[in-house]
Structure 1
Amino acid sequence: MTLEEARADIDAVDTQMKPLFLKRMECAKKVAEVKAQTGGDVFVLERELSIIEKRAGDVDKEVYDEYVTFLRHLMSVSRRYQYGKLTAMQDAVVDGAAATAGVDKNAAHTQVEISFTCPAATSDLNLFINMTKLNKIAIDSMNLSTEGGVQKITMTLDGNLKESNMRRLLCQIGKEADDFKILAVK
């Protein structure tokens, strides 16, 4: 097989995946609509771990880790989409964290400093960093320290608390990480 033939196979697979991805996002929208009515959480770790175990159980060891990573990323993207639909949840997380910090969300600012923690053994830091990119939010600075098996992360994000992508990102981090705080706006 030539490189061109191998790439043609990949293109064919990608073409087949597109309608399935769009269908998955349509389903995620329906889930968000139900959760908007019921107040259910978007991120349910036990459910996601069960899905991964069920879907990946028969995957060859050579690509097992890649498949699990693919599933985790796909689920994170789906959750991002749902958080974007759940503006009341965004308000509760973002406005609540701003109020706790004594931050005026309406004050002029171009950066938001946050902190959160993750268990080091099961850290989803890579997914949170990827979510900043998907939400078109730049990380101006980031600090990570690990103590007692817990990662503590502080980030300075470029943007404003009133921007929809910032609110979606902070909602996702606030709902999926531990000890989420808005520290300051600058």
Structure 2
Amino acid sequence: MTLDEIRVRIDAIDTQMKPLFVNRMECAAQVAAAKAKTGGDVFVLERELAIIEKRASDIDADIYDEYVAFLRHMMSVSRRYQYGILTDMQERVLKDALEESGFDGGKPHDQVEISFTCKKEASDLNLFMNMIRLNKVEIDGMNLTSKDAVQTIDMTLDGNIHDGNMKRLLCQIGKEADGFKIRDLK
């Protein structure tokens, strides 16, 4: 098979994946609507791990890690979409983080300093970085330190906490990361 023939085949596969993706996002919207009524969490680690284990159990070892990465990314995108629908959740997470930090959120700012932690051995820093990119928020600065198998990430993000994408991002990090804090509004 030539390179051009392989590319045609890839294009055909991608075309088939598009309606499946749209269907998955429609289901994600329905899940978000149900969670809005019940107050359920969008991110349930145990459920996601069980889904990944079940779906990846028959994948060839040569592509196992790539398939797991694909599933994790797809689930992260789905959660991002759900957090965007769950505006009441966004407001609660933001309000709680501001209260904990002692900020009222009313002061003018164009940067948000945050911190959160991840266990080093199972770090999801790559997914958090991807969330930032998906939400079209730029990182102005970042520092990562490790101590006792825990990574602490300090970031300065460009934007305002009242912007839609920033709210969605802070909600997702606030719900999915340990020790999430808003450290400053600058």
TM-score by length of 2: 0.99
Alpha-carbon distance between aligned partners in 2 of 1:122 and 1:176, rounded to the nearest angstrom? 13
Gaps of 5+ in 2: none
Equivalent residue, structure 1, for 2:92: 92
Give me the CA root mean square deviation: 0.6
Shift of 1:105: 1.1
Alpha-carbon distance between aligned partners in 2 of 1:182 and 1:166, rounded to the nearest angstrom? 12
Equivalent residue, structure 2, for 1:33: 33
Which amino acid counterpart does residue 184 of structure 1 have in structure 2?
D
Alpha-carbon distance between aligned partners in 2 of 1:103 and 1:8, rounded to the nearest angstrom? 54
Shift of 1:106: 1.9
Equivalent residue, structure 1, for 2:143: 143
Gaps of 5+ in 1: none
Alpha-carbon distance between aligned partners in 1 of 2:3 and 2:153, rounded to the nearest angstrom? 42
Which amino acid counterpart does residue 84 of structure 2 have in structure 1?
G
Equivalent residue, structure 1, for 2:163: 163
Equivalent residue, structure 2, for 1:17: 17
Alpha-carbon distance between aligned partners in 1 of 2:104 and 2:113, rounded to the nearest angstrom? 13
Paired residue secondary structure (2:181) = strand
Paired residue secondary structure (1:48) = helix
Runs of 4+ in 1 over 4 A off after TM superposition: none
- Alignment pair present for 1:129 and 2:132: no
Equivalent residue, structure 1, for 2:176: 176
Alpha-carbon distance between aligned partners in 2 of 1:165 and 1:59, rounded to the nearest angstrom? 35
Paired residue secondary structure (1:61) = coil
Shift of 1:37: 0.5
Which amino acid counterpart does residue 158 of structure 2 have in structure 1?
D
Alpha-carbon distance between aligned partners in 1 of 2:168 and 2:122, rounded to the nearest angstrom? 23
Alpha-carbon distance between aligned partners in 1 of 2:6 and 2:146, rounded to the nearest angstrom? 42
Alpha-carbon distance between aligned partners in 2 of 1:162 and 1:106, rounded to the nearest angstrom? 9
Paired residue secondary structure (1:40) = coil
Q: How many equivalent residue pairs?
A: 186
Q: Render the CA deviation track for 1:49-68: whole Å, top value 9, x for unaligned.
A: 00000000000000000000
Shift of 1:104: 2.7
1:111–1:157 CA contact under 8 A, matched in 2: yes
Task: Give identity over the alignment, percent.
Answer: 66
Shift of 1:99: 1.6
Alpha-carbon distance between aligned partners in 2 of 1:148 and 1:8, rounded to the nearest angstrom? 50
Which amino acid counterpart does residue 156 of structure 2 have in structure 1?
T
Paired residue secondary structure (1:5) = helix
Paired residue secondary structure (1:62) = coil
1:120–1:151 CA contact under 8 A, matched in 2: yes
Alpha-carbon distance between aligned partners in 2 of 1:152 and 1:114, rounded to the nearest angstrom? 11
1:106–1:162 CA contact under 8 A, matched in 2: no
Alpha-carbon distance between aligned partners in 1 of 2:80 and 2:72, rounded to the nearest angstrom? 12
